[in-house]
Structure 1
């Protein structure tokens, strides 16, 4: 059952171990209540994609994911015709002749020869009146012309196939669109969605995430990790660590039986936290020692 209030939306997310603030819970609730797509923008690794996964799991809906990339087109995202099957049908009909050829002319561009890609699957898929969750992930990676095709999908939950006409969802899917903002998404897309910026969590929220997602870490280690990562995000790095990296680092430290951070351990495990060599080189050594000293002084 979909949540009937913001509090229920927050509880639904928390029940799947997703730590959300009031603003995000409100955006999720309104998206479900108004049947509007939810556009989530923010840095990589802050938990945008996870929201779609949580909704699918918590609401018992199938998750249909369209991973965007440069060169993505309608044939990969929406539909295409099974040309090989069409050609085979043509050869069989020609061999049989007569009525088979005339019948094939009517059937050649029917649903029987249609290959459904994620968007069309999401519009047509309904189980017991419960539509799926459609995740259009990292839209900023796709080319701008593809955005124009999405306008019909996001505004009317339908697609137009020239040979078949309009295919409209009987029950609109729950649509989550994400962007890491590597480029600006056109305003026309955003106008068709509810918008929410997913920011890095506060120290308190990130500590709660670690308690839920990495329960094997000691209380002291979790606090030191969160404080260290929070300080790193204030530095001029090429790519600041997201929540996903915080979790990766904590799990790596736990696997090494680390209970308290020390400079040597930080230096040899930075690859779990930072993903660019220039960032690692800048933080490793004196900088990491300095940051750790500040962390331990604050937590003392």
Structure 2
């Protein structure tokens, strides 16, 4: 990727539309070899950005989904204890004995997502997606510092593995908690805003090519209004695409059709939000269109 215009063009070919800010952030992350931390509300396209980047670069996507309690053995590496136990028993059957130097070797190492990205030997570096880092614990963030700063992982029994081709690292966060300053310092940063109606319509048009243009216009404008309501979980791009897909599949062409209220579960995820969204639908207006 030679410029942020090139980033925009390549992502456009895989149907991911970006603004100047995100295009520049991705370009600098790739050019400088720095991890990129993407934050924003749920559903604005953070995870999709990493997936699209992998497609645009024609390289594998390695994904680590974070959650509370995530450990090093689940994210970095783990020893294959079953194989080690089998090796011990085979050695005992032969009258010999295995020590730690025999058991803690690369043959017994199980790669998890981050070590797999470090040791990847393909022609192009992979894209490593560390998704929803804010769901993991503070302690897990500390495990990432060496990797994020040096593209390396130290395994006490084997030494330090350094990536020959550092992966393109994208971390995402829904900003549900504050991340450690040390993690932020190791990353480039970009906040993804929910796009305006025109760009939402353009994104939906790519994602649901069979939907009628008036339906795309009306639904994206309606979602924009709904997001201004006092909702527990405002709908994001993913929910908007799901809604248009559902309406198109039902043959709906207008939001005043009777089936529309039955489909709002695609954008409203709590009972209170569903009531608010249904009340805001054009079909909910009294006859004559008077408020």
1:233 is matched with 227
2:282 pairs with 1:289? yes
Aligned residue pairs, count: 287
- Which residue is 1:187 aligned to? 181
Instruction: Work out whether 1:45 is the aligned partner of 2:43.
Output: yes
Please tell me whether the aligned partners of residues 65 and 136 of structure 1 are also in contact (alpha carbons under 8 angstroms).
Answer: yes
Determine if contact 1:126/1:132 at 8 Å carries over to the other structure.
no
Structure 2 unaligned residues grouped into runs of 5+: none
CA offset at residue 199 of structure 1? 1.1
Counterparts of 1:76 and 1:113, CA distance in 2: 15
CA distance in 2, matches of 1:180, 1:105: 42
Q: In structure 1, what is the Cα distance between the partners aligned to 2:193 and 2:284?
A: 23
Of 11, 14, 17, 2:12 maps to 14
- Residues in 1 aligned to 2:102 and 2:164: alpha-carbon distance in whole angstroms: 24
Return the offset for 1:290.
7.9
Checking the alignment, whether the CA contact within 8 Å between 2:256 and 2:281 is kept in structure 1 is no
Structure 1 residue runs of 4 or more that deviate by more than 4 Å after TM superposition? 290-293
| TM-score of the pair, normalised by structure 2 | 0.94
Contact map agreement 2:128 2:167 (CA 8 A) in 1: yes
CA drift of 1:289 comes to 3.2
Aligned equivalents of 1:290, 1:192: Cα separation in 2: 50
- Are the counterparts in 2 of residues 27 and 38 from structure 1 also a CA contact under 8 Å? yes
The answer for unaligned runs of 5 or more in structure 1 is none
Q: Aligned-pair distance for 1:268?
A: 1.3
Q: Separation in 1 of the partners of 2:65 and 2:33?
A: 22
**Counterpart mapping for 1:212-231 below 5 A:** 212-231=206-225
Q: Residue 60 of structure 1 aligns with which residue?
A: 58
- Residue 109 of structure 1 pairs with residue 107 of structure 2: no
Give the Å deviation of 1:217.
1.2
TM-score (norm 1): 0.92
